[in-house]
Structure 1
Amino acid sequence: MSTNPQHIVFLDGDTMAESVSLPAFGFTHTLTVYPRTRPEQLAERIAEADIVITNKVAIGADALTQAKQLKLIAIAATGSDMIDLASCKEHGVAVCNIRNYATNTVPEHVLALMFALRRSLVPYRQSVQNGRWQEADQFCYFDYPIYDLAGSTLGIVGAGSLGQSVAKLAQALGMKTVFAEQKGVSADQVRSGRVPFEDMLRQADVISLHCPLTPQTEHLLSTAEFNLMKPGRTVLINTARGGLVDNEALEQALRSGQLGGAGIDVCTPEPPPADHILMRLLDLPNFILTPHVAWASQEAMQALANQLVDNINAFVAGQAQNLL
């Protein structure tokens, strides 16, 4: 990498909270931060950049063709599905991402959704606000089911750092945890420490998704999978990628009572339009939708910012790390 001053462009700076600060870079540079970047603005904004930072702005072959000086795309996240990695390789552009920064924040969000759904916290709060407690005319009422997490079974899809961290927290609560083998793997090919995918669906009281979105995992859960779950009992948590779940099948499973509840932090697209199917489910007492914030504790966002700058400093120093 040249020792000349580097021009860094951050395409979607608003994806970091104002409370998060970027540490000092270890080299001479200019930094241009755009709050957000629309597709039609991309090519112009990266045309003279040496380094581009992006969280969710997609960068494809057309934009790369016009970015003659670009040497590094530093993803301010773990997922890389919005970057055309093959085109980056063709144009000699390195790509790095953030790793293992969310091993507290995402699992804690997962557990928060588990508690809220298994104990019906949202509908009970709403019913109190609506005057139901006074109508009950006694010290309590039982309009919504409550189930303990202790003694229940958590099925985890994805055995990476996040899946393992969720399992550790769940076990501390007295839950039994099972890791699912990849869907479609025959019983005799199941790896040690895992159970067949369909067996996990049948066993689990709670299912948490922690796998990437690929052509193989798109609509990982659809009607057939929901029908294998415990009728009216199983709770689904998705903090991974929206495309892992067939939303039409999810709606049917929730409204029919086949699925006990769902806590969703991700969808496609983001943000969802007002008429998105997940927005239509907000009337249900056993459905919670949060705006892709499982990753966004203050501590995790600052750790991400620190690692982002570390990645860029390492690349400029000729010691690239976290390359894809």
Structure 2
Amino acid sequence: MSPKLSLPKDLIRILLLEGISDTAAQTLHDAGYRSVTRMAKALDGEALHDALRGVHLLGIRSRTQMDAAAFAAADRLIAVGCFSVGTNQVDLQAAKDIGVPVFNAPFSNTRSVAELTMGEIVMLLRRIPGKSNAAHDGRWEKSAEGSREVRGKTLGIIGYGNIGSQLSVLAEAFGMRVIFHDVVPKLAHGNAAGNTPLPVLLAQSDVVTLHVPETPATENLMSADMIARMKPGAVLINNSRGTVVDLDALAQSLRDGHLGGASVDVFPEEPAKGNDIFRTPLQHLPNVILTPHIGGSTMEAQERIGEEVARKLVDWSDTGTTLGAVNFPEVALPARQAGTRFIHIHRNQPGVLASVNDIFRAASANVAAQYLQTDPQIGYVVVDAEGIEDAEVVQAALRDVPGTLRSRVLYDRG
């Protein structure tokens, strides 16, 4: 018997912005969702607010800014999927305050970023940017001066997470010596040397590459003082976050000849649109690679991201699973063959769970399964109940519980 749904899947409106991969649309379609609107560009201001009205599930990449005003305009929104690694484009607290989980794909582009970094290491040590530009200009700069092999050089990785550790393996395959620094003790891959103090890493490395999150602790991590501590002639690569390197100090170090090159993919201020003018102090400097935030922009990564985030949205809508949510307590229960599933999102305050259970007791229902998780601000409970005669009556009672943010019947299998 097909379950009764509080909202049939063909009535659940989904909006995918910014040219999200076909794999996302296919995953949603395969799960039974048909009302999917896709747009190739980002939206902002009133255009975004208008588009959000009546939308239940939203998919965005990095340009669409979901601030408190956008959430206020989204009158039916139940979840946001960030088809990206980060979630800086979303006001996570505003989403939490109205009971909307936010999902992302933190690991799907790991290989793409690691491969780009490895390619940049080769290009910078061989001083390819200048030679390529010269050839484009008709000049034939055939010289070995300043060009170095990767093999035998020391790579210093700051941030040994998923990307840093995978880069470590690739670099060793090229014959590099790998050392790394991380604020959390990490198991080294291969022959990499971990727990290296940052000043030692900077002094010893021929290449320094950053793979850290954006936090107050990492802001201007590579300051003028830290850059000055780097080995003379070394190169610096930042494919992590735009706020972790002092670009003015980096540009000065390159002009002074202390550093031998740099590659930067992320910037403190990036154009909101493709036709906006881009400016950085690193422009027109020799042996510098500048890329427009494309570290994870490969077809393979976008396909993986599309499938992963769409699956999380489906799992949330179908079963109430919040595994992978960045602003929400994580709960997962497999779908049951019988009974009615309710979800209840509430402020984390005393007495809510007791009130929820009193409602099921009053309905003479058997609670077959229940799972509660909380964080300091909100609580999330999933209840599987049997013997429910009128799910809407129970649902109405749940919505009246003091502290309730949202409540929903996911399915009713009798």
Q: Settle same-fold status: TM greater than 0.5.
A: yes
Q: Conserved in 1, the CA contact under 8 Å of 2:27 and 2:307?
A: no
- Moved beyond 4 Å, runs of 4+: 129-132, 189-192
Q: Conserved in 2, the CA contact under 8 Å of 1:23 and 1:305?
A: no
Aligned equivalents of 1:315 and 1:307: distance in 2?
Answer: 13
Q: Conserved in 2, the CA contact under 8 Å of 1:179 and 1:195?
A: yes
For residues 31-57 of structure 1, give each alpha carbon's deviation from its aligned partner in whole angstroms, at most 9, with x where no partner exists. Answer: 222322123422222222111111111
Equivalent in the alignment of 1:157:
158
1:23 aligns with 2:29: no
For residues 220-253 of structure 1, give each alpha carbon's deviation from its aligned partner in whole angstroms, at most 9, with x where no partner exists. Answer: 111001100012x111111111111111111111
For residues 130-152 of structure 1, give each alpha carbon's deviation from its aligned partner in whole angstroms, at most 9, with x where no partner exists. Answer: 4544xx8xxx534x411221111
Aligned equivalents of 1:28 and 1:301: distance in 2?
Answer: 21
Distance 1:158-1:20 versus aligned 2 partners, 3 A rule: same
1:230 aligns with 2:236: no
Q: Conserved in 2, the CA contact under 8 Å of 1:53 and 1:74?
A: yes
Question: Which residue, 45, 59, 65 being the options, matches 1:39?
Answer: 45
1:320 deviates by 3.2
Equivalent in the alignment of 1:186:
none
Q: Which amino acid aligns with 1:38?
A: D
1:275 deviates by 6.1
Which runs of 5 or more residues in structure 2 are unaligned? 188-193, 327-414
Equivalent in the alignment of 2:280:
277
Aligned equivalents of 2:172 and 2:259: distance in 1?
Answer: 23
Equivalent in the alignment of 2:397:
none
1:63 aligns with 2:61: no
Equivalent in the alignment of 1:82:
89
Distance 1:260-1:320 versus aligned 2 partners, 3 A rule: same
Equivalent in the alignment of 1:92:
99
Equivalent in the alignment of 2:112:
105
1:323 aligns with 2:325: yes
1:126 deviates by 2.9
Question: What's the secondary structure of 1:101's corresponding residue?
Answer: coil
Equivalent in the alignment of 2:255:
255
Aligned equivalents of 2:294 and 2:256: distance in 1?
Answer: 28
1:119 aligns with 2:122: no
Question: Which residue, 39, 51, 54 being the options, matches 2:57?
Answer: 51
Per the normalisation by structure 1, the TM-score is 0.87
For residues 120-171 of structure 1, give each alpha carbon's deviation from its aligned partner in whole angstroms, at most 9, with x where no partner exists. Answer: 11212333444544xx8xxx534x4112211111111212111111001001
User: Which sits farther off after the overlay, 268-277 or 63-72?
Assistant: 268-277
Distance 1:225-1:287 versus aligned 2 partners, 3 A rule: same
Which runs of 5 or more residues in structure 1 are unaligned? 183-188
For residues 12-70 of structure 1, give each alpha carbon's deviation from its aligned partner in whole angstroms, at most 9, with x where no partner exists. Answer: 22xx47x8773241133412223221234222222221111111112122221232211
Aligned equivalents of 1:267 and 1:72: distance in 2?
Answer: 29
Per the normalisation by structure 2, the TM-score is 0.69
1:114 deviates by 0.8
Q: Which amino acid aligns with 1:32?
A: T
Question: What's the secondary structure of 2:289's corresponding residue?
Answer: strand
Q: Conserved in 2, the CA contact under 8 Å of 1:222 and 1:246?
A: yes
Equivalent in the alignment of 2:333:
none
Q: Which has the higher contact order (CA 8 A, sep 6+)?
A: 1
1:219 deviates by 1.2
Q: Give RMSD over aligned pairs.
A: 2.3
Aligned equivalents of 2:6 and 2:267: distance in 1?
Answer: 40
Aligned equivalents of 1:294 and 1:45: distance in 2?
Answer: 29
Percent sequence identity over matched residues? 30
Question: What's the secondary structure of 1:122's corresponding residue?
Answer: helix
For residues 163-217 of structure 1, give each alpha carbon's deviation from its aligned partner in whole angstroms, at most 9, with x where no partner exists. Answer: 11100100111111111134xxxxxx97783212222111211111111111221
Q: Conserved in 1, the CA contact under 8 Å of 2:160 and 2:186?
A: no
Aligned equivalents of 1:10 and 1:90: distance in 2?
Answer: 23
Distance 1:236-1:40 versus aligned 2 partners, 3 A rule: farther
Question: Which residue, 72, 80, 84 being the options, matches 1:73?
Answer: 80
Equivalent in the alignment of 2:312:
311
